[in-house]
Amino acid sequence: MREAFGYASIEWKKGIDWDAVRAFRKERAQDAMKRHGLGAMLLMYDENIRYVTSTLTPGWNKLKPGLRYAVLPAGKEPILYEQGDLGIHIKAHSPWIPQDNVRHSFAWIKGAAGPASTMQVEKFTKALADDLEDAGVKDQPLGVDFIDITMMKTFEQAGITWTDGMTPMMEARAIKSPDEQNCSRIVGSMCDALHYEMSQWLRPGLTENQVAAHGFEFLYSFPGVEDVEDVIVSSGPNAWPNWRNFSDRIIRPGELVIIDVAALTWNGFKSCVYRTYCVGGKPTDEMKQYYDTALTWLRDSIDAVKPGVSTRDIASKWPSAMETWGYADEDEAAANLWGHGLGLAQYDQPVISRIWSLDHPIEIKPGMVFALETQHGKVHEFGVRLEEMLVVTETGHDLITSFPIDEITVLD
């Protein structure tokens, strides 16, 4: 069923129940921690901080572990160490976090603080040890999703036993609640809107970066959009191998252009939706053949998705890198035939590839949300890429993207 509501919260129609989302995440994080025998988790990656605190990481804080972080003790409320004095805003706008659990962080920014990093990590560790002591879990393993050399040394001195905390968080985030699934449906509808906009606007003479800029502007106009990591625009020779980027190249008549709404972020939820366009002309028969091949690969893999199957069952629908492109190593074709979970991260579980899924399969479960994508092309001539987002249901799957994909979108 498609969502019957929009991205805004209105009085007369029930939309996303954010309180239910927070309760669901809290339970899953605590369950994962218990299952892995952890006394607490120290979370420094944006997606994990958000999962347990429902707070936003400002753009300039991202990819800088330690500017802000969270501690989740077993059976307790999360403690948020916010950057600088931004905790004042958190206390006003995020009442689900106890006021006393909002603190200021002790940052060293992956060592950018230079010789002061050791001093900062010592302060960081002292506060962390106090949290663990207060929660009665000081002697239990601490799960961490990020670690560096200075932390390792200081933790040892403080008697903190640390272990893998990313795996339990990956497991927690892999299954989405009904409300979270609806968030991804809304994101899918935004991607459909962007591709329709491109189908009305794209033309020869534009540069790839002009097309990307138009996509960024269009997507940021949606209320609730926090970030657009990338609008990939690869045209002509840049489309194979797919550069997954954009440049100052001018798009010429009759060329194929592949566009991806990569990591549009609405209320934390990510996207990934490719479509292929032919601009200012008609695709050749050869282009159509390549597209039909990639479409068959995509549809075969989508048809395999249902609860109880594994990532092996999906990846096995795709041909090997050797038989398709002559690559001796599957890793050389990484991301050409691909699947990846979507949620608060661009790569939630499952991530599906012939590289690892054939030998290390993961079970597909209801509530997973992921994208499947395939591509093909001729080196430095043209390329095609297509992708759908889907939700795993109790009996199968629902596609949550719907812009036409049966053939190349021709803009002649």
Amino acid, res. 123: K
pLDDT of residue 6: 78
Which pLDDT band holds residue 9 (cuts at 50, 70, 90)?
A: confident
User: pLDDT tens across 161-206, in order?
Assistant: 999 999 999 999 999 999 999 999 999 999 999 999 999 999 999 9
Which pLDDT band holds residue 11 (cuts at 50, 70, 90)?
A: confident
Q: What is the mean predicted confidence (pLDDT) over 108-113?
A: 87
Question: Is the pLDDT confidence value at 50 over 80?
Answer: yes
pLDDT of residue 376: 99
The DSSP string of 329-345 is: SGGGGTTTSEEEE-SSS
Helices (H), 84-161: 87-93, 116-134, 149-158
The DSSP string of 314-327 is: HHTTSPPHHHHH--
Which pLDDT band holds residue 363 (cuts at 50, 70, 90)?
A: very high
Question: Is the pLDDT confidence value at 332 over 80?
Answer: yes
Domain ranges, ordered by start, for the chain? 18-172, 175-411
- Could you say which architecture CATH assigns to the domain 175-411? Alpha-Beta Complex (3.90)
Q: In percent, how much of the chain has pLDDT > 90? A: 93
pLDDT of residue 111: 86
Question: Is the pLDDT confidence value at 4 over 80?
Answer: no
DSSP, collapsed to helix, strand or coil, labels residue 24 as helix
User: pLDDT tens across 289-330, in order?
Assistant: 999 999 999 999 999 999 999 999 999 999 999 999 999 999
Q: Give 207's DSSP letter.
A: B
Question: Is the pLDDT confidence value at 338 over 70?
Answer: yes
Residues in the chain, how many? 412
Token pair belonging to 197: 């906009």
Question: Is the pLDDT confidence value at 340 over 80?
Answer: yes
Q: What is the mean predicted confidence (pLDDT) over 43-52?
A: 98
Q: What is the mean predicted confidence (pLDDT) over 371-389?
A: 99
Question: Is the pLDDT confidence value at 258 over 70?
Answer: yes
Sheet with 272-279: list strands edge to edge.
Answer: 225-235, 255-266, 272-279, 409-411
Token pair belonging to 359: 């030998």
pLDDT of residue 1: 59
Question: Is the pLDDT confidence value at 43 over 80?
Answer: yes
For residue 350, cis peptide bond before it (omega within 30 degrees of 0): yes
Pairing between β-strand 397-399 and β-strand 338-341 as defined by DSSP bridges: unpaired
Question: Is the pLDDT confidence value at 12 over 90?
Answer: no
Q: What is the mean predicted confidence (pLDDT) over 260-272?
A: 97
DSSP, collapsed to helix, strand or coil, labels residue 40 as strand
Q: Give 274's DSSP letter.
A: E
Q: What is the mean predicted confidence (pLDDT) over 7-31?
A: 92
CATH number for region 18-172 = 3.40.350.10
User: pLDDT tens across 84-104, in order?
Assistant: 999 999 999 999 999 999 999
pLDDT of residue 113: 87
